[in-house]
Amino acid sequence: MRLGGVLTLVFVTSLFLYQKRRRLLVHIKADHEAERQAALEATRQSEERFRSLTKLSSDWYWEQDDQFRFVRLPGDLDQKTRSANDNHIGKTRWEMGAINLTDEDWKVHRSVLQSHQEFHDFEMMRRGKDGAAHWTSVSGMPIFDSVGQFKGYRGVARDITERKQAEEHIKHFAFYDNLTQLPNRRLLRDGLALALATSKRRQLYGALLFLDLDNFKPLNDKYGHEFGDLLLIEVANRLKTCVREIDTVARFGGDEFVVVLGYLDVDKNESRVLTSRVAEKIRTSLCQPYLLTDKREGSTAGTVEHHCTASIGATLFFGQEEREDEILKRADMAMYDAKQAGRNRIRFRETKA
């Protein structure tokens, strides 16, 4: 009887401990499940916050595999880059290309990726479905697993089209004449410096023409600056048709224009002949009658016919160590020679060399 009681007590105790342990395991499992669900919810909320922030900004997220092929591009890329997600997945960045990047640019970018370095503000320009230029700035960092094995890249991209357009507008304002859209005096000096360097390197003559309109002030005095502006615009258009694409036509100021001719000839006499031909073509074009129409709303001035000629000074340069100012001054003096000779003339001033 005593042995049976002991066995009963042991059984009851074991059963109690088993049920207590079972209840404890149930609670632990429930706690683990609650923690797992909380972690999943935290992750979901974090991703939702990320999507909300990227949606509100011009940024979007991307991932690539260890071969630098896109594997993830959340968000509405069509809205930001005007190209669909399926055009990116499975492709590398250079396979899709960019208008502003050369083969050498892509080579440098690939070397950065292959060495598993971070990169920032890598700029690409592509044409969208609408044919317009769209700029993207990309930054990325490498991904490694727990044992340090390279797995790919992740990063963000940003639409910088508006910023690029603003920069281009500022650049155009700084280097181009607002009225004629020709290069201004600042950009002219850059073009002349390049022409001098090219002349020295290629051992070819170049030339500079300095033009001043002969009958500009009477038009302004009689009809107003609006018609003077129309004349300057037409002069600029005619000048551009008289030269090659490699040449530079600039507005120097007021009614003065400058033309830089490059890649002429190794022979000085032949280069002078070529320069004279261009100068004569310009002189003939500019002395044709101008029909100027004021198209402003409410204007009653109508169309004005005006006759205007140009005095042209010319000089050659040939790789000599000479300042831009000296060449401009020599051509300017030749232009005054043309004025004194009766206007509507072409006159040369020789180089110092």
Residue 225 lies in a domain: yes
Q: Which residue has the higher pLDDT, 26 or 324?
A: 324
Tokens representing residue 336 in the block: 């005054």
Q: Which residue has the higher pLDDT, 4 or 278?
A: 278
What percentage of the chain carries pLDDT values higher than 70?
Answer: 77
Last residue of a domain, one of 135, 167, 199: 167
My answer on whether 186 and 332 are in the same domain is yes
My answer on whether 180 and 315 are in the same domain is yes
Last residue of a domain, one of 142, 167, 192: 167
Active-site choice (59, 177, 255, 332): 255
Query: Is 255 tagged catalytic?
Result: yes
Please, which pLDDT band fits residue 33 given cuts at 50, 70 and 90? low
pLDDT one-digit tens code per residue, 184-216: 999 999 899 999 999 998 999 999 999 999 989
pLDDT one-digit tens code per residue, 304-323: 899 999 999 999 999 766 78
My answer on whether 188 and 157 are in the same domain is no
Residue 74 lies in a domain: yes
My answer on whether 69 and 151 are in the same domain is yes
Residue 42 lies in a domain: no
My answer on whether 217 and 335 are in the same domain is yes
What percentage of the chain carries pLDDT values higher than 90?
Answer: 58
CATH code, domain with 214: 3.30.70.270
Residue 44 lies in a domain: no
pLDDT one-digit tens code per residue, 50-88: 454 444 445 788 999 999 999 987 654 545 444 444 578
- Say which range, 82-86, 151-155, 174-178, 239-243, has the weakest mean pLDDT: 82-86
CATH code, domain with 138: 3.30.450.20
pLDDT one-digit tens code per residue, 204-263: 999 999 999 998 989 988 888 899 999 999 999 999 999 999 999 999 999 999 999 999
Residue 21 lies in a domain: no
Q: Which residue has the higher pLDDT, 148 or 8?
A: 148
Last residue of a domain, one of 120, 139, 167: 167
Residue 139 lies in a domain: yes
Q: Give the total number of structural domains in the chain.
A: 2
My answer on whether 332 and 214 are in the same domain is yes
Domain range spanning residue 237?
176-348
My answer on whether 157 and 292 are in the same domain is no
My answer on whether 107 and 249 are in the same domain is no
My answer on whether 225 and 305 are in the same domain is yes
